[in-house]
Chain A
Amino acid sequence: MKSNETDKTVQLTPDMFVIEGCSTIGAEEINRPEITYWEDAWRRLKKNRVAFGALLLLIFLLVMTATGEYMGGYSHEVTDSAIRNMWPDKTHWFGTDELGRDLFSRVWRGGRVSMLMGLLGATISTFIGCIYGGVAGYYGGRTDNIMMRIIEILTTIPYLMVVILISLYFGKGIFPLILAMTATGWCGMARLVRGQILQVKEQEYVTAAIALGAGPWRIITRHLLTNTLSIIIVSITFDIPRFIFAEAFLSYIGLGVQAPDTSWGALASASQQNLMFYPYQLFFPALMIALTMLSFTLLGDGLRDALDPKLRQ
């Protein structure tokens, strides 16, 4: 029972029955504490155990990719033919590869590359996608039509063809890798942003801004993009694992990172021949790819729920 339940034992005295009228002090008060959209979103995210766990796992993985290489005490590139293809043990926690290199440090060093490539790819795609989608959504009509048809054409070109063409022209390495990933990777974000902007454009507060005399720049930055931000953030979170996987795939087929540099995809590729005898060489990089992708995806799910204004309580 609530503590302000009426106390029936209080005596009623005549002086309590004098009309005083209402007091208007505090009539316009707001009782709830100030809480911004982001604070509320963070709070909701924290409550979502799965998403929060994923976030912690992700932070752990990021820290490891930054520092894991130095933990084992072994270099990632020093070869030692005496300890080739050794199973994981107390000294080499992930075992060693064909050339006797310590896999623990290689996995984490490779992880750094994979993460960076994933983040870089996602960032570039987001940037291009936002601008492209923003322009298409804002102007609408024929401009929008043409721009969307271009995207449709781009997405129908088979991915492998794009990759092969790029590798033919630019060879192998980091640059063609990024190019291959982002050549068509921005299309999804562009579609998403365009759709969202088309919707936000119809909101009455945009009409109000137009009525006040706001120009396109102000409308796009202050009104359209700010209200699209949450969608963009969630989308980036889902894009990163896609790019990490794309990098893994491209490195696997030899397009990306070249020896002695490595990435998770490259490690997976190198372990192919020894798969029957030394499966651990594939196991660890694959596990890291899987964990990273999983945690980004779970985090993305949680972020989407946390940032959705309709789910505000």
Chain B
Amino acid sequence: MRILEVKNLKKHFFPGGGEVLKAVDGVSFHIDKGETLGLVGESGCGKTTTGRTILNLHEITEGRVIFDGIDVGASRRGVRRELKKRMQIIFQDPYASLNPRMTVGDIIAEGIDIHRMYRGIKRQERVRELLDLVGLNREHAGRFPHEFSGGQRQRIGIARALAIEPEFIVCDEPISALDVSIQAQIVNLLIKLQKELGLTYLFIAHDLSMVRHISDRVGVMYLGRLVEVAESEELYEKPNHPYTQVLLGSIPVPDPKTAREHENIEITGEIPSSLCPPSGCPFRTRCRYAMEICSVQNPPLKEVTKGHYSACHLNDKK
């Protein structure tokens, strides 16, 4: 059952002087209930903006976001407010995403307070429950964020998102700022919560190995466009789009023998600016297979094999 549908989503920024920053430029995908869709890409690809636009933290420039049949962009304020209880977000930076002047208990209960879900003793109980759920000590509700480590703060952020009982959570690079051993803790927690509470995730990250582990399907973005979507094993074993191939080839493998023998696919050049993306296919300036048609026409996302979509003119030949 599709809980989220994104149709040709565009988010453009206007920094002034007539310039347009096309952060998200026509992205379409869907997520089924209980599923995790991973979204990967490098800086400037628009994955974070996509996640935030879905939650209406940025206004949609064009396109539609449909959550459980409700068109988010076209809804009235009241409906959107109710939707906030069902769609939540976890942030990347555990140091910046918690108000340093609020106690942990108040931070976690903020959603509860805003939507007036519990008061008094019940509120306290709920906060304690949430602390337990994320593996923190119940007694710490009165402490302040700076007294906790990065991993613990991230858990506080997760508890805050869970407080209002959402069905869908955008995980915006939740582990990028954490140490490797703590990353595993958080990923395990997210998986456990998904199983227990039936959550659906949009997992945005640039750590490809973690994404592979937690996601059912993965989408790859480049310069505001979705260039490939497939089931995660399929994507990692048989990447179709040249950019995906380069991306996967760049992952440093923690194995000296493989690292020595395997010559990583070298990619030249820098990521172009989103202010003036290349015409046609955005990746053509760095693609070793670039053809004439690539500078003229932006290849659409087409199904290559069942469930595996890729946006590349190379597939047209087949």
- A residues at B contact (CB < 8 Å): 28-30, 32, 34, 36-37, 203-205, 207-215, 218, 222-223, 226-227, 309, 312
Contact call B111/A28, Cβ cutoff below 8 A: no
Q: Shortest Cβ distance from B306 into chain A, in angstroms?
A: 36
Contacts of B143 in A (CB 8 A): 30, 34
Mostly, the B contact residues are loop
The answer to the question of B148 belonging to the interface, with a C-beta cut-off of 8 Å to chain A, is yes
Tell me which of A28, A208, A222, A227 contacts B100 (CB under 8 A). Answer: A227
A30 to B139: give the CA distance in the assembly, Å.
Answer: 10
Q: Tell me, rounded to whole Å, the shortest Cβ–Cβ distance linking A29 to chain B.
A: 7
Closest residue on chain A to residue B147 by CB atoms: A30
Instruction: Give Cα A32 to B143, complex, Å.
Output: 11
The number of inter-chain residue pairs (CB within 8 angstroms) is 74
Q: Contact between A212 and B84 (Cβ–Cβ < 8 Å)?
A: yes
Q: For the complex, what is the distance from the CA of A209 to the CA of B142, rounded to whole Å?
A: 19
Q: Give the docked Cα–Cα distance between A34 and B139 (Å).
A: 12
A223-B99, A312-B146 known; A212+B91 contact, CB < 8 A: no
**Residue B72 CB within 8 A of the other chain:** no
Chain A residues with CB under 8 Å of B137's CB are: 28-29
- Chain A residues within 8 Å of B102, by CB: 222, 226
Nearest CB in chain B: distance from A36 CB, A: 7
The minimal Cβ–Cβ distance linking A183 to chain B, given in whole angstroms, is: 33
Q: Chain B residues with Cβ under 8 A from A211's Cβ?
A: 55, 57, 84, 88-89
For the complex formed, measure the closest distance between the CB of B96 and the CB atoms of chain A, giving whole angstroms.
4
What's the Cα separation between A34 and B148 when bound, in Å?
A: 11
Q: Can you list 8 contacts pairing A with B, beta carbon distance less than 8 Å? A: A28-B135, A28-B140, A37-B100, A205-B96, A208-B91, A212-B84, A212-B164, A226-B99
Q: Are B110 and A209 in contact (CB under 8 A)?
A: yes
Q: A28-B135, A213-B81, A213-B85 are in contact. Are A208 and B160 (CB under 8 A)?
A: yes
* Closest A residue, CB atoms, query B100: A309
Number of interface residues of B (CB under 8 A): 35
How far, in whole Å, are A121 and B189 apart by their CA atoms in the complex? 55
On chain A, the residues within 8 Å of B1 by CB distance are none
Please name the residue on chain A nearest to B97 by beta carbon: A204
The docked-state distance in angstroms from the alpha carbon of A309 to that of B146 is 10
Give the CA-CA distance A227 to B147 in the complex, in Å. 18
Question: Which residues does chain A contribute within 8 Å of B96, judged by CB atoms?
Answer: 203-205
* Chain A residues, CB < 8 A from B122: none
Q: How far is the CB of A204 from chain B (nearest CB, A)?
A: 4
B 164-189 contacts with A by CB, 8 A: 164
The distance in angstroms between the C-alpha atoms of A310 and B100, with both chains bound, is 12
**Chain A residues, CB < 8 A from B164:** 212
Residues of B within 8 A of A222 (CB): 99, 102
B276 an interface residue at 8 Å Cβ cutoff? no
Report the separation of the CA atoms of residues A32 and B149 in the bound assembly, to the nearest whole angstrom: 12
> Residue of B at shortest CB range from A34?
B143
Q: Which of A32, A207, A214 contacts B91 (CB 8 A)?
A: A207
